[in-house]
Chain A
């Protein structure tokens, strides 16, 4: 069997490039450096009217040998604050990337599904429990945190000055920026709790 995966990826690549969504620069697919086309880089823009609006998210896509009979392995390369995406590793909890995968799905539909996931988080099936808890219990703080992360990591243009100041404050105490941000986000932006957390 002349590898069906390679053939399909070639066709899907064309499909994404020709798609309307690509024309509106909502999704994008890069062939990466690997020659066998088994490792790709996807890009999605944050959907409007969400804390991710204006952000650009880069995704690592690994195509298994058994593609399209098994789903591609996708994770966020860009850091993101979302209940269904690990804030530490970028691992994604999405059913179609697991047991609900179907062979007729393509990289285009996967990218669009991920964009839809950004627009409608599913806190009852979380990947990141801390984020999901915040999403449910403090929706305002969640929204601000996600916006702040978008600006900090995904080239978003909506600043959250209060949070930026707190990060700068902790950085002044000698903590590394990303670690400070994570600690603050995990502690609902309570500086004392975050400091304690960082020192423990």
Chain B
């Protein structure tokens, strides 16, 4: 939309703007409506600078056809970005009857994968290895030593024999399953 903006400053134009600043005060930061240095500055998505009171009045003047006063791109109150300079001593300036300048929007950085709640760290979380890998999942579980789960029970205890039994049952289930896979 801003590509057809005749006044959008390209890199070269920016350079001439710099020289303009030196010769003509701070004309580069003039509001496009009142032609004065922009106060309570906001910038539109198409890159044009305005005083917020000026732009607000422009938008109020024609509520059903809100276009940028410079390039006529579509604009709206929500799509303006306020500009906060460092030496902004007029921050306490009550903007009279006007609604306040739109707030700056700060979005959270995006999460690059992973579910923070599960504590899997940076590794990808995978729900399934697919049907063929099902028995290996059984074997793999017996080799997990350092994952915080309680280790295998001591030999001789009833729990040990139960686990042995269960282990054998699952082993046989796994063997049958693989056998079935080979036949099928």
Contact = CB atoms under 8 A, between A and B. Distances in A.
Interface stretch (A40-48, A65-73, A115-123): A65-73
Contacts of A103: 32-33, 54, 58, 69
A102 B34 contact: no
B57 interface: yes
A105 B70 CA distance: 7
Contact of B69 (A4, A99, A102): A102
Contacts of B72: 102
A4 B70 contact: no
Contact of B61 (A4, A8, A66): A66
Tell me what chain A mostly uses at the interface: helix, strand, loop, or mixed: loop
**How large, as a class, is the contact surface on chain B?**
10 to 19
Contact of A8 (B34, B48, B58): B34
Interface residues of A, number: 15
B67 interface: yes
B138 interface: no
B78 interface: no
B159 to A, nearest CB: 82
B34 A4 contact: yes
A11 B68 CA distance: 21
B61 A104 contact: no
21 contacts: A4-B34, A4-B54, A7-B34, A7-B35, A7-B36, A8-B34, A8-B35, A11-B35, A11-B36, A12-B35, A66-B61, A69-B58, A99-B65, A102-B67, A102-B69, A103-B54, A103-B58, A104-B33, A104-B70, A105-B69, A106-B35
- Closest 9 A-B residue pairs measured CB to CB? A103-B69, A104-B69, A104-B70, A104-B32, A69-B61, A102-B69, A11-B35, A103-B33, A103-B58
Interface of A: 4, 7-8, 11-12, 66, 68-70, 99, 102-106
